[in-house]
Structure 1
Amino acid sequence: MQNLAFPLHFSFKVLTPSNDFSVFDANNQEVAYTRQKIFKIKEAIQVYQSSGRQNLLYTINADRIIDFNASYTFRDAAGNVFGAVKRSGMKSLWKTHYQTSDAAGQTVFSLHEENPLAAVVNGFLEEIPLVGMLSGFFLNPSYAINDAQGRTVFRLRKLPSFFERKFRLEKVGEAAPEQEQLALLSVMLLMLMDGRDG
């Protein structure tokens, strides 16, 4: 995924058994398709160039069975490790918090919810029949992706929708192409975890 045209848009159906979705750029061109393997003891996520699943770009694998405080390794199609993201366990009980690092283990980004209370209320209301559909239209969390200096470089927003989960990733700061790649994979993982947890 090179020369990405932001903002990027993510969309997947809520009434399907899978947790797969496509990523489209600002020109409505598909730039990635994410497939989460089900019934795996450890998380195993595959990222393809398109929904045709002809060209595998990346894999994301968890280092443990239980995802509490788990680390997820990013590998390219040749199996080379180029980064990882770690979920912060205790912080994640109240709000989503991930740390993204490069191949050398240096922190590149910190991802967190900007309004954790809205996410908690949204999660509660989604469990109530009919009300849950409305909560997806009015209560939509946003996430900041900050660099190592604390500056917001990307912002992920959940968009209002009734029958689909839709997100938009905006680039609001400066980032190198390899950093865009790390941020995008971290966001993909976040959305898969968010979809699975509710």
Structure 2
Amino acid sequence: MNDLKYPLHFQFRVTSFANDFVATDANGQSIYYVREKIFSWRDHIMVYRDSSKSEMLYELISNKLIDFQQTFTIKDSQGKVIGKARRKTIKSLWRSTFNLMDANDQHDHTIKEKNPWTKFWDGLFGELPIIGMLSGYVFNPSYILRNDLEEPMFEIRKEPSFFGRKFSVLKLTDKEVDDERFVLSLMLMVLMERSNG
């Protein structure tokens, strides 16, 4: 994931039964195809070079069968562990939180929902007959990835959309950072949180 041109854009496919999306860079060039494996005992996400699925670049595999304090191990195509992401399920009842660990299992970054009220109002508005379908245009959550000094590194925003699900990833720092691990963690977070907004 070297030399990524930000902002990145994630767009879910509406013609597929699978939970999948295409990632493009700032120039509109397709850079990844991300797909959650269906009919699997554990959550299993694959990142391919493109939608042909001829070359798998990364895998993100859950350690548990149920969604409770899940930890996803992120591996490259050679099976090398890049890092881990742990979803804090209990806290996510109010604010979605993912703790990121490096390859040595050291917690060093966190992804948190920017405004938890967005999720609350989206859930309430989405229950209304007919007009609830418009919640994707009105309530659009965003998430901030911060380091252990609470400095913002990345922001991912849900873009207004009806059928499609569109997200934009902005890099907020000029520092040298682990783009590979962080973008993969944001991809995971989007798949897990897709229903919000």
Question: Is the TM value for this pair above 0.5?
Answer: yes
Aligned to 1:60: 60
5+ long unaligned stretches in structure 1: none
Contact 1:96–1:112 (CA<8 Å) still a contact in 2? yes
Quick one: distance in 2 between partners of 1:112 and 1:149?
14
Q: Which whole-Å deviations, capped at 9, do the CAs of 1:99-142 have from their partners, x for residues lacking one?
A: 11110112232000011011122133334443233110111011
- Inter-partner Cα distance in structure 1 for 2:196 and 2:165: 13
Letter in 2 for 1:100: L
Residue in 2 that maps onto 1:147: 147
Q: Is the 8 Å Cα contact of residues 11 and 23 (structure 2) preserved in structure 1?
A: yes
Deviations 1:69-92 (A, max 9, x none): 110000000111110000112211
Does residue 76 of structure 1 match 2:76? yes
- CA shift for structure 1 position 197: 7.4
Please state how far the C-alpha of 1:190 moved relative to its aligned partner.
1.1
* Residue equivalent to 1:191: 190
Runs of 4 or more, structure 1, over 2 Å off, are: 13-16, 123-133, 174-177, 195-198
Q: What TM-score results when the alignment is normalised by the length of structure 1? A: 0.93
- Paired with 1:146 and 1:164, the residues of 2 have a C-alpha distance of 28
1:9-54 Cα distance to aligned partner (Å, 9 max, x none): 0111346411110100001111111011111111011000111111
Percent identity, aligned pairs only, is 38
Which amino acid letter does the alignment assign opposite residue 49 of structure 2?
A: Q
Deviation at residue 195 of structure 1 after TM alignment: 2.7
Secondary structure of residue in 1 paired with 2:189: helix
Q: CA deviation at 1:189?
A: 0.9
Corresponding residue for residue 138 of structure 2? 138
Q: Tell me what 1:18 maps to.
A: 18
| Cα offset, 1:148, TM superposition | 1.4
Task: Tell me how far apart the structure 1 counterparts of residues 88 and 181 of structure 2 sit (CA, whole Å).
Answer: 17
Change in Cα spacing, 1:180 to 1:132, as seen in structure 2 (3 Å) is: farther
> Relative to structure 1, is the Cα distance of residues 107 and 174 closer, same or farther in structure 2, using a 3 angstrom cutoff?
farther
Contact persistence 1:133–1:163 (CA under 8 A): no
The two structures, once aligned, show a CA RMSD in angstroms of: 1.7
Say how many residue pairs are matched: 197
- SS at 1:42 equivalent: coil
Instruction: Could you tell me which runs of 5 or more consecutive residues in structure 2 were left unpaired when the two chains were aligned.
Output: none
CA separation of 1:197/1:38 partners in 2, compared to 1, >3 Å: closer, same or farther? farther
The separation in 1 between residues aligned to 2:52 and 2:127, in whole angstroms, is 33
Whole-angstrom CA distance in 1 between matches of 2:72 and 2:175: 22
**Distance change in 2, residues 1:126/1:17 (3 Å):** farther
Kindly indicate whether the alpha-carbon contact (under 8 Å) linking 1:19 and 1:195 is maintained by their aligned counterparts in 2: no
Q: Calculate the TM-score normalised by the size of structure 2.
A: 0.93
Question: Is the CA contact (8 Å cut-off) linking 2:111 and 2:145 kept in structure 1?
Answer: yes
